[in-house]
Chain A
């Protein structure tokens, strides 16, 4: 069975600080996909990144970066120079790579990030 753990339920930082959100996953599949979604106060989840299990290259997109390490089953998300607009709940998610699994995402419990001015 798949499982995603986000041990940090809530993080509070001051603007311009760097912050890392942890994500640890469990799966028996060799092919799988990892995702991060952001849920701002308006409610809708917004896709941030998708990474497949064969691509361990770290990725950077502006102030966002992701560190995927299969050896530790982790897919951590770092925000550099955080801003108040980054305040949201962030979800890590996992799906199997089999075609018939489709978009069956298993979500972690989410990490609420509060960035104070």
Chain B
């Protein structure tokens, strides 16, 4: 398998549930990203990890908790979400974060519905 893989593809959860989104990249990249794509807003950058270290947190509420155990895996832990958090969550990777503004490689996303 190649590229960026996200699981699950679809997730429905209640506001009191705890769930996790998983992202895995097989490209040997060192930077990984979480983006949120909702119907009412442009794609929003949530978090950036570079060499497993978080380098950006774009004022994301604490009910979203990222984890990057190694350069190939990225998780987004979810708890006590709100209905407005329903969106497509996209993971991306790039060879590195800083430098020459390299292109991003995206996964297919997890479509999250919060009831």
Contacts and interface: CB of A to CB of B under 8 A. Distances in A.
Interface of A: 4, 33, 35, 37, 42-47, 50, 52, 91, 93, 95, 97, 99-110
A47 B4 CA distance: 13
Query: Which residue, B33, B43, B108, has most C-beta atoms of chain A within 10 A?
Result: B43
Contacts of A33: 101
Give the interface residue-count category, chain B. Answer: 20 to 34
Contacts of B99: 99, 102
A104 B103 contact: no
A91 B43 contact: yes
A39 B30 CA distance: 23
A104 B45 contact: yes
Nearest to B94: A103
24 contacts: A4-B42, A37-B104, A43-B107, A43-B109, A43-B111, A44-B90, A44-B109, A45-B106, A46-B106, A47-B105, A93-B43, A99-B98, A100-B98, A101-B98, A102-B31, A102-B48, A103-B33, A103-B48, A103-B94, A103-B97, A104-B45, A106-B42, A107-B42, A110-B43
Given A37-B104, A44-B106, A47-B105, 10 more contacts: A43-B108, A45-B104, A50-B101, A50-B103, A102-B55, A103-B104, A105-B104, A106-B42, A107-B43, A108-B42
